[in-house]
Amino acid sequence: MIRLVTDAFLRNKPIFSIFLASGRRFLAYSAIPGELPPGWTRSLLEEARRWVSHQKTIKMVPRQFVDASFARSSGPGGQHVNKTNSKAVVKLSIETPFIPHWAKRELRKSPSFVESSSCLQTASTTSRSQNDNLEECLRKLHDIILEAAKQAIPSLPSEEQQTHVKRLQQIEKSKRKEEKTKRKNLKSGRTSKWDD
């Protein structure tokens, strides 16, 4: 028996689990091959892919989009400890133009997202230098945004995957039909004739 279960909550992708009578499970990434999920168009998909590939060349969030503050860092530092504000704390509003609208839903699920201020926040104390810690925070934010953007982009199955799923469905259909005929023959053999 083929059972389609929609797992829409998984990364905002149209994933369908196909459970076969044999107990095996296969994943298909679109109910209708080549169909995009609601809210996505081919042009938006291409734009999103271009944005992600461009962001791979940039390693940090631009400084003008963030609010940075500095505090005293804890941990080892020798004579330097508790004397300078080297810990960097960076906040980036989720509504900033740097973040694409299609990635915001995924970013809201991030552990770095602060609900009360609707922003992403990260901190760094790896270096004694304010500037180094600030750059580290900007890199962290960039990585968080890039990963969320990748997760938000729906992946379409290739032609090969689509034909593979169709073939599995046909095999399962024939097995199911064969199983039904066996059950039918078994049940028809059980009927007894009552002699009156």
- 162-178 pLDDT, tens per residue? 888 889 999 999 999 99
Burial degree of 169 (CB within 10 A; 0-12, 13-18, 19+): middle
Q: Which long-range contacts (CB under 8 A, 24 or more apart) does 54-59 make?
A: 55/142, 55/145, 55/146, 55/149, 56/146, 58/142, 59/139, 59/142
Give residue 132's Cα distance to chain centre. 30
Report pLDDT for 38.
Answer: 74
Q: How many residues does the chain have?
A: 196
Domain 42-152 fold: Double Stranded RNA Binding Domain (3.30.160)
Query: Reading across the β-sheet that carries 67-71, which strands appear in turn?
Result: 67-71, 87-93, 119-124, 113-114
Widest distance between CA atoms in the chain: 108
Q: Domain spans of the chain?
A: 1-35, 42-152
Give me the residues of the chain with pLDDT under 50, please. Answer: 1-15, 27-31
